[in-house]
Amino acid sequence: ALPELGEIYPLGGSGDRLGLTDPETGECLPAAMLPYCGRTLLEGLIRDLQ
């Protein structure tokens, strides 16, 4: 049934293994900041929920 449908979004964790760093500070960014199809994963999640 549709009310029992759910989705899992793996947004946590450090993106250091993927080389995601802030170009100004060099700090590791969270995996949610990974660019995908011109947006970050977090932006895509929010867009899907809207």
**pLDDT tens-digit map of 13-47:** 777 777 888 889 998 888 788 888 899 888 988 88
For residue 31, how many other CB atoms are within 10 A of its CB?
19
What is the model's pLDDT at position 24? 94
The more confident residue out of 46 and 7 is: 46
Nearest Cα to 30, choosing from 43, 20, 39?
20
Q: Where does the pLDDT of residue 1 fall: very low under 50, low under 70, confident under 90, or very high at 90 and above? A: low
Domain positions in the chain are 13-49
> Structure pTM?
0.53
30 with 11: CB under 8 angstroms? yes
